[in-house]
Amino acid sequence: MISGEEERENTAEWMTKKERLDAILAKMMNVGNVDGSVIAPRGGLLIVSRVPPEVDDRIVSAPFSSVTVAAETAFVEMGRQGRSGHHRTCQA
């Protein structure tokens, strides 16, 4: 007899990466107070999403990616400032 855990592991082995990511988003939707979620790399190209039908996931993936990159940059810069004890200026 196969246990539930073994069955999940066997199923995961045969799932594509996109299917595994979609399964993660499905779990996030079950958390509550989550209306939608998107996975997109830094460039904003949509990989997988779970959003309401009235939302165009391709349109929201780029701005969310930009916000994530900006937050990551701020986090890194704050870490540098904290270690050195003085302000650093970001240059593009």
Q: How far apart are CA 46 and CA 57, in angstroms?
A: 8
pLDDT at 81 over 60: yes
Phi/psi at 79 (5° precision): -65, -40
Q: Give the H/E segment covering residue 31.
A: none
Answer whether 0.85 is exceeded by the pTM: no
Tens of pLDDT, residue by residue over 55-78, are 998 888 888 888 888 988 998 888
Structure tokens at 31: 């958390």
Tens of pLDDT, residue by residue over 13-56, are 778 998 999 999 999 888 888 888 888 887 888 889 999 999 99
CA dihedral 43, 21, 32, 35 (to 10 degrees): 40
Q: How far apart are CA 6 and CA 56, in angstroms?
A: 37
What is the average pLDDT value for the chain, to the nearest integer? Answer: 78
Domain locations in the chain as residue ranges = 4-84
Structure tokens at 38: 């998107």
